[in-house]
Amino acid sequence: MRTGHGRIIQLAALLGATAVSLSLAGCEYAGLLRPSVLSQLDPLVARLVNEMPELDAQNESTVAELYALGGLEHAQPGPDGVMRAEITVPEFHMLWTPAIIVMPQGGPLELRFSNYDQSSHAAYLPHNGGRQMLELPVGAGGIARLNLDAPGLYWFGCPVGDHVGRGMLGLIIVKGSAPAEARLDRPPQPLPPSH
C-alpha cells in the first residue's frame, strides 16, 4: 500500500506530465502520458484527471488540490433508478477512496461504506438541504441513502476528531443544469485572475 507521501509525489509527477495537455478539453489524459508514468497511476487517479475538463476552472483547481489522493468514481444507476457507489477507508489512511463521486444528474444516491482502518469513523453526508450521519466502527461499514435533487457540489466528511482536517473530506458532484426558474437573473460574474 502506498504511503501518503508517495501518493503526493505520484500526483506531482502526474500533474507535471499533464500540465501541457490540460487545455485539450475532452481528451483522455491518461492516454497522453508516457507508458512508464501511466503504469504507476491508480485507476482512480486516472479517472480524476480525465474528469477535470468537465469542471469549470475554479472548481477544477479546488478538486485537484483537495481530492486527487482519493480518486474519483462515477455513481452507477441501478434498475430501480437509484445511483450507487462504494467508498472505503483504507487501513492506516485518513481518506475516502474514492474521495469524489460523480452523479450524471440529481436524484437518489446509495453509498456503501467500508471501514478497513484501525480507527472508528463516521460519514456526515448531504441530503436535500439537510444532513445524514452514518457511523463506521472499526472493520465495519454501512449504507447511506441520500437524495440530491439539484446540480452542484456537495461536501461530506468524517466528523470524528480532526479526521476532516487530516484528509477525510469528500465531494459529490451532481452534473446537470439548474431549471430556468431557479437561475439567478444576473450577468455571468468574472472569475478572479489565476496565478
Mean of the per-residue pLDDT values for the chain? Answer: 76
Distance CA 67, CA 44 (A): 11
Provide the residue ranges of all domains of the chain, joining segments of one domain with +.
1-71, 75-177
- For residues 113 and 140, the answer to whether their CB atoms sit within 8 Å is no
Highest CATH level, class, for 75-177: mainly beta
Residue with the larger pLDDT of the pair 64 and 125: 125
pLDDT in the model for residue 166: 77
pLDDT, tens digit, 9 for 90 and up, residues 38-52: 555 667 767 766 776
Sheet holding 83-89, edge to edge: 76-77, 83-89, 107-115, 141-148
Closest C-alpha among 98, 107, 112 to residue 143: 112
Q: What is the pLDDT of residue 163?
A: 86
pLDDT band at 23 (very low <50, low <70, confident <90, very high): very low
pLDDT digits (tens, 9 = 90+) for 81-136: 999 999 999 898 888 999 999 999 999 999 999 999 999 999 999 998 789 999 99
Question: For residue 100, what are the CA distances in angstroms to 52, 103, 116, 144?
Answer: 12, 10, 19, 16
State the pLDDT confidence band at 20, using cuts at 50, 70 and 90.
very low
Would you say residue 66 has pLDDT above 80? no
